[in-house]
A and B are shown apart, each in its own frame.
Chain A
Amino acid sequence: MTQRTTSRRRRLLSVATGGAAALALAACGGSGFGGGGGGGGGGEAGGDLEILIGSSGDAETTAVKDAVAAWSEESGTGASVSVAADLAQQLSQGFASGNPPDLFYVSTDFFPGYAANGSLLPYGAQLDNADDFYPTLADSFTYDGELYCAPKDFSTLALAINTDQWTAAGLTEDDYPTTWEELKTVATTLTTGDTTGLTFGPEWQRVGTFMAQAGGHLVDDEGHADVDTPENLEALTYVKDLLTSGALKYPSDLGAGWGGEAFGLGTAAMTIEGNWLVGTMENDYPDVAYTVVPLPEGPGGPGTLQFTNCWGISADSANQEAAVELVQHLTSGEQQMTFAQAFGVMPSVESVADQWKEEFPEQAPFLDGADGAQGFPPIEGIADVISDFNAQIEGLKSGDPQAILTSVQSTLEAVAP
């Protein structure tokens, strides 16, 4: 009963805010709308769209609701956005019951599973802007040679530095680390008393940057397991070296849940995190002065990792045509810039890259890494392998890098021979 009232109120609210947003956008003269609205008439037959998102917070929820409401107004197709408490679980229930939401976020680790069992509609070819996506992002959502869904935005990893602790240690801008050697030196210098030089989570999603910088990867270009390589060994050995020297500590050892928290609390002077760090620092630690620089280069050159979600359309959706139109609208350059302003992500299309850098110059290092960034390989079952890898990285300090790589190689070969 209350739930129904709340949802009705929420719908009313979203319609109201949506109307306001439509007015504001119309005032701006957004030309990207014409394409989305033009074909809207055909969508009405299939009914309203249900959209399920896993939101990072109020800012994202509001921005998505506004954008969808504006499109809905324009196209005449009803659309309602709900925020999932547990996206994976709710999607699984939807797929099993044959009544999933029409449009939803799909993360890179769940993508291969959903694509393999036929839950997703491969609509990539229907998009006008399919070529505009960064190739590495599109690769993350390509299964069996087909682009299944449109990356909605993305983030990359860069090095965040606490500037107060930096200057207190007698370091200047010239000392920003550009090589592994320099990173180790400054991390050691910054490690004093209660402060650790560097922190990041014990997972491939961070350590993988060093593997990329050493010239390594999880799978080679053909998608074969390629973990047990000298490059990866060099990377893990370097990270282990940092751990044993005390210049690097995992966030949990600093009493924090993740790198950004330890960084914000000042228990770590540097961290490797993505664009989301900006929002955290602004909301939770507004007094901490920091700067973002590109990750140092390793023996194999520069390298970082990227994180993205896509707009999945359910293969069971009754109104796929309208859903594709909505995705077209949501992934347009303008709309993605609006999202970027609202909740700090980077547009997944190359055409607005310069505009984004102009608007967020202090975050430019994140976007600079985009070209060579490695993503989550779209292989069914790889999420389990990576979580097993992560479990072993937790014990890296006392572990044997070669043994870890050998074991991950054998488990990865089972899913990516």
Chain B
Amino acid sequence: MSEGLPPETSPDPGARRARGGLRRRAHATTRGQTGAGWLFITPMIVILGLFLVLPIFMALWVSVSDWTGRGSPFAGTTAFVGGENYQELLTGGGLAQRDFATSVRNNVYYVILVVPTQTLISLLLAVLVNQRILKGRGFFRTAFYFPSVTSSVAITVVFLFLFSASGAVNKAVSYVGANGPNWINDPRGLLHIILGAFGADSPPAALQEAPFLGLSWWNWLAGPSITMTVYIIMAIFTTSGTFMLLFLAALQNISGDIEEAALVDGTNAWQRLWLVTVPMLKPTTFTVITLGLIGTWQVFDQIYTGTRGSPSKTTLTPAYLSYETSFNSQQWGQGAAIAFILFAIIVVMTILQRIILRDPDTVPKRKRFVLSDAGGSGSAATGAGGAPPAGAAKIEGGTS
């Protein structure tokens, strides 16, 4: 926000000192410009402050207070309770902790399955519709993007119909002689089903312990329930198109010369995709994964429209639990605390991902993670865990 502020727009101070007579006027001009700058950004500051910053601080206060939902949270009747709400969620040992742990588990599986899959699919779709020889490119681009512009509520309702016990999906499955599960009401976890197939349908003693957030290891290892899988499929279906658009824009920025150069170097199509195109898409990949992480951790509207946590709480997510805890159970402090823990999770995930994906060549320029020098950056980054794409250096050498 403060980035919108114009910096000291005065000319070089040395020059000012030299032209002493102009100093006064220059100073006045600067002051005028500063004033104008403030004037121009005031509406934005007011709007953001009123509708973004203030509510965030209000929520932060609620998360450390015992506000009961009646009257203003800043009224005298609301007391500061410190970390009590957070403690109840993280170490309380009660229902609140178990629900929170369950919701985190559900969302972890959702993120793990959705983010990589949608990134891969959107990349492949983008490469496909970027082919110059493809006929009807416009049609395919529109078709793949279409689910993204449709309301998530409408898509959820359609999916609930498709996946109902006697719905279209189970009809299709029955044609190949199989019996589809009761998709939107099957709480069995996928991993439990797989383990069950090998005869392990009850937890060994070691997995019955519950040292982490009050949920037993066996429950952490349940995997996404069949119902959650429906949401996972839906998320991949709807968001792949959006990210395809990002990849497509990036692909069109790659000049044809590079591909020609790679051709001259005798690469085949597969090598060009993985060793030329994909490394050059790295900034876009970073954006896509970041947006994907944030979006998947905040999943709410599908759950709210659809199953609302059922069956057996396997579609409960932290975002929905926060709503439920606040509005339905009147535990506003806990609801706000869930929202801030979710915020922390998202920030940590994004930073982790940034460290893993950081580019050894561009990082020193941005001076974010200062490395020794440009020449040694490759090996330094490898040591730090960011493996440089093997082909990148070679290809760059070829193109220059």
A binds B: yes
Residues facing B in A97-147 (CB within 8 A) are 98, 110, 113-114, 116-119
Tell whether, in the assembled complex, residue A394 and residue B311 are in contact, meaning their CB atoms are under 8 Å apart: yes
Residue from the list A98, A117, A254, A414 in contact with B94, Cβ < 8 A: A414
Tell whether, in the assembled complex, residue A388 and residue B99 are in contact, meaning their CB atoms are under 8 Å apart: yes
Q: Is A384 located at the chain interface by the 8 A CB criterion?
A: yes
Interface hit among B125-133, B180-188, B243-251, B370-378: B180-188
Q: In whole angstroms, how far apart are the Cα atoms of A118 and B96 in the complex? A: 23
CB within 8 Å for A113 and B329 given contacts A95-B69, A118-B70, A411-B95: yes
CB distance from B100 to the nearest CB of A (A): 12
Q: In whole angstroms, how far apart are the Cα atoms of A98 and B165 in the complex? A: 45
Q: Is B72 located at the chain interface by the 8 A CB criterion?
A: yes
Q: Scan B145-177; emit 1 where CB is below 8 A from any A CB, else 0.
A: 000000000000000000011110000000000
Q: Which residues of B contact A118 (CB under 8 A)?
A: 68, 70
Closest to B95 in A: A411
Q: In whole angstroms, how far apart are the Cα atoms of A385 and B329 in the complex? A: 11
Residue from the list A92, A253, A394, A414 in contact with B69, Cβ < 8 A: A92
Tell whether, in the assembled complex, residue B327 and residue A254 are in contact, meaning their CB atoms are under 8 Å apart: no
Residues facing B in A148-198 (CB within 8 A) are none
With contacts defined as CB atoms under 8 Å apart, how many contacts are there between chain A and chain B in the complex? Answer: 76
Tell whether, in the assembled complex, residue A383 and residue B328 are in contact, meaning their CB atoms are under 8 Å apart: yes
Residues facing A in B107-133 (CB within 8 A) are none
Q: In whole angstroms, how far apart are the Cα atoms of A119 and B396 in the complex? A: 69
Q: Scan B82-110; emit 1 where CB is below 8 A from any A CB, else 0.
A: 00000000000011101100000000000
CB within 8 Å for A391 and B313 given contacts A255-B164, A414-B95: yes
Q: In whole angstroms, how far apart are the Cα atoms of A411 and B182 in the complex? A: 29
Tell whether, in the assembled complex, residue B70 and residue A96 are in contact, meaning their CB atoms are under 8 Å apart: yes
Q: Is A417 located at the chain interface by the 8 A CB criterion?
A: no
Q: In whole angstroms, how far apart are the Cα atoms of A185 and B208 in the complex? A: 39
CB distance from B347 to the nearest CB of A (A): 28
Q: Which residues of A contact B184 (CB under 8 A)?
A: 252
Closest to A257 in B: B164
Q: Is the interface of B mostly helix, strand, loop or mixed?
A: loop
CB within 8 Å for A391 and B69 given contacts A92-B327, A114-B330: no
Q: In whole angstroms, how far apart are the Cα atoms of A95 and B94 in the complex? A: 28
Q: In whole angstroms, how far apart are the Cα atoms of A119 and B67 in the complex? A: 13
CB distance from A264 to the nearest CB of B (A): 15
Tell whether, in the assembled complex, residue B329 and residue A381 are in contact, meaning their CB atoms are under 8 Å apart: yes
Q: Is B284 located at the chain interface by the 8 A CB criterion?
A: no
CB within 8 Å for A395 and B187 given contacts A253-B182, A383-B329: yes
Interface residues on A, range: 20 to 34
Q: Is B219 located at the chain interface by the 8 A CB criterion?
A: no
Residues facing A in B43-71 (CB within 8 A) are 68-71
CB within 8 Å for A88 and B328 given contacts A391-B311, A411-B95: yes
Q: In whole angstroms, how far apart are the Cα atoms of A96 and B74 in the complex? A: 11
Q: In whole angstroms, how far apart are the Cα atoms of A194 and B338 in the complex? A: 45
CB within 8 Å for A117 and B69 given contacts A253-B165, A254-B165, A395-B187: yes
Q: In whole angstroms, how far apart are the Cα atoms of A392 and B166 in the complex? A: 24
Residues facing B in A214-272 (CB within 8 A) are 250, 252-255
Q: Which residues of A contact B72 (CB under 8 A)?
A: 96, 98
Q: Scan A390-401; emit 1 where CB is below 8 A from any B CB, else 0.
A: 011011000000
Tell whether, in the assembled complex, residue A384 and residue B311 are in contact, meaning their CB atoms are under 8 Å apart: no
Residue from the list A88, A384, A385 in contact with B327, Cβ < 8 A: A88
Tell whether, in the assembled complex, residue B71 and residue A96 are in contact, meaning their CB atoms are under 8 Å apart: yes
Q: In whole angstroms, how far apart are the Cα atoms of A92 and B323 in the complex? A: 12
Tell whether, in the assembled complex, residue B69 and residue A96 are in contact, meaning their CB atoms are under 8 Å apart: yes
Q: In whole angstroms, how far apart are the Cα atoms of A250 and B312 in the complex? A: 14
Q: In whole angstroms, how far apart are the Cα atoms of A82 and B226 in the complex? A: 40
Q: Scan B357-395; emit 1 where CB is below 8 A from any A CB, else 0.
A: 000000000000000000000000000000000000000
Q: Is B310 located at the chain interface by the 8 A CB criterion?
A: yes
Tell whether, in the assembled complex, residue B164 and residue A116 are in contact, meaning their CB atoms are under 8 Å apart: no
Which residues of B are at the interface with A, using a C-beta cutoff of 8 A?
Answer: 68-73, 94-96, 98-99, 164-167, 182, 184-185, 187, 309-313, 326-330
| Sample of 18 more A-B contacts, CB < 8 Å, known A92-B330, A96-B70, A394-B312 | A88-B328, A95-B69, A95-B70, A96-B73, A113-B330, A116-B68, A117-B330, A118-B70, A250-B185, A252-B311, A253-B165, A254-B165, A255-B166, A255-B167, A391-B310, A391-B313, A394-B185, A414-B95
The 9 tightest CB contacts between A and B, nearest first, are A117-B68, A252-B185, A113-B330, A255-B166, A255-B165, A411-B95, A391-B312, A391-B313, A394-B312
